[in-house]
Chain A
Amino acid sequence: MDGAPTLERLAGQDGPALRAAGAWTAQHAGAIERLVRDAERRARKEAAVEIDVSHIARLDTFGAWLIERLRRALTRENNAPRLTGLAEDYRGLVEAVRNAGNDAEPRQKEPGAIVLMLAAIGHAMSEVADTLIQLANMTGAIILAGLRIAVRPQTFRFTSLIHHMEQVGWRAVPIMVLITFLIGCIIAQQGIFHFRKFGADVYVVDMVGVLVLREIGVLIVAIMVAGRSGSAYTAELGSMKMREEIDALRTMGFDPVEVLIVPRVLALIIAMPILAFIGSMAALYGGGLVAWLYGGLQPDIFLSRLREAISLDHFKVGMIKAPFMAAVIGVIACLEGFNVRGSAESLGSHTTSSVVKSIFFVIVLDGVFAIFFASIGM
Chain B
Amino acid sequence: MTIEARNIVKQFGAFRALDDVDLRVEGGELVALLGPSGSGKTTLLRIIAGLDWPDAGEVLFNGESALERGAGERNVGFVFQHYALFRHMSVFENVAFGLRVQPRRLRRSEADIRKRVNDLLDLVQIDWLANRYPGQLSGGQRQRVALARALAIEPRILLLDEPFGALDAKVRKELRRWLRSLHDDIHVTSLFVTHDQEEALEVADRIVVMDKGKIEQIGTPEDVYDNPATAFVHGFIGESIMLPVEVGGGQVRFGPKVLDLESGGAASGPSRLFVRRHDMVLGPAGNGTLEGAVKRVRAFGPILRADVALPGGDGETMIEVDAPRDRALKPGDIVGLKPRRYRIFAAQA
Contacts and interface: CB of A to CB of B under 8 A. Distances in A.
A and B, one complex?
yes
Interface of A: 243-245, 247-248, 250-255
A247 B82 CA distance: 12
Contacts of B77: 251
A290 B72 CA distance: 59
Contacts of A243: 82, 84
Interface in B72-116: 72-73, 76-78, 80-82, 84, 86, 97-98, 101-102
B137 interface: no
Contact of A250 (B72, B86, B102): B72
B97 to A, nearest CB: 7
A250 B84 contact: no
A248 B150 CA distance: 9
B98 A244 contact: no
9 contacts: A244-B82, A247-B46, A251-B77, A251-B78, A251-B150, A252-B97, A252-B101, A253-B98, A253-B102
Contact of B86 (A245, A247, A251, A255): A245
Contacts of A251: 49-51, 71-72, 76-78, 150
B331 interface: no
Interface residues of B, number: 22
A243 B166 CA distance: 13
B324 interface: no
A253 B97 CA distance: 11
B78 A248 contact: yes
B84 A254 contact: no
B78 A247 contact: yes
Interface string B49-60: 111000000000
Q: Output the residue of A245, A251, A252, A254 with the most chain B CB within 10 A.
A: A251
Nearest to B146: A248
A262 to B, nearest CB: 15
Given A245-B84, A248-B84, A253-B73, 10 more contacts: A244-B84, A247-B46, A248-B78, A248-B80, A250-B51, A251-B49, A251-B50, A253-B98, A253-B101, A254-B101
A251 B73 CA distance: 8
A244 B50 CA distance: 14
Contacts of A248: 78, 80, 84, 86
A247 B50 CA distance: 10
Pairs of residues from A and B, 9 with the lowest C-beta to C-beta distance, nearest first: A253-B72, A248-B84, A244-B84, A251-B78, A250-B71, A244-B80, A252-B98, A245-B84, A251-B71
A247 B101 contact: no
A252 B50 CA distance: 11
A27 to B, nearest CB: 15
B73 A247 contact: no
Contact of B80 (A247, A253, A254): A247
B70 interface: yes
B319 interface: no
A155 to B, nearest CB: 9
A32 to B, nearest CB: 21
A101 to B, nearest CB: 15
Nearest to B75: A253
Given A247-B51, A247-B78, A252 B84 contact: no
B102 A247 contact: no
A126 to B, nearest CB: 14
Contacts of B82: 243-244
A250 B74 CA distance: 10
A78 B102 CA distance: 71
Contacts of B97: 252
A244 B70 contact: no
Given A252-B72, A254-B72, A247 B98 contact: no
B59 to A, nearest CB: 15
A248 B159 CA distance: 12
B281 interface: no
B86 A252 contact: no
A247 B72 contact: no
Nearest to A251: B78
B184 to A, nearest CB: 24
Contacts of B86: 245, 248
A247 B52 CA distance: 10
Nearest to A152: B104
